[in-house]
Amino acid sequence: MPVYEYICSSCGHPFDKMVRFSDTTPDTSCPKCKSTDTHKRLSRIAYSSYTSANLSGGSCGSSGSGFS
């Protein structure tokens, strides 16, 4: 199950939510204020992994560590 990051538009509280692929309408209400006015956030981990791989010009596992 993927974990999505959300932020509440009402109170600004960031939170994570595990969502099943089969769940077509997941409950993404804010756990702090119970508002349903929430939005998915771009994960900083996914973003930084993407940019560091592109900036270095290499791919995963190309460090030359000698492992086979």
Task: Round the average pLDDT of the chain to a whole number and report it.
Answer: 78
Q: Note the pLDDT tens digit of each residue in 40-55.
A: 987 665 555 545 555 5
Do 3 and 45 touch, CB atoms closer than 8 A?
no
Output 27 or 45, whichever has higher pLDDT.
Answer: 27
Whole-angstrom CA distances from 20 to 3, 34, 39, 62 are 9, 21, 17, 33
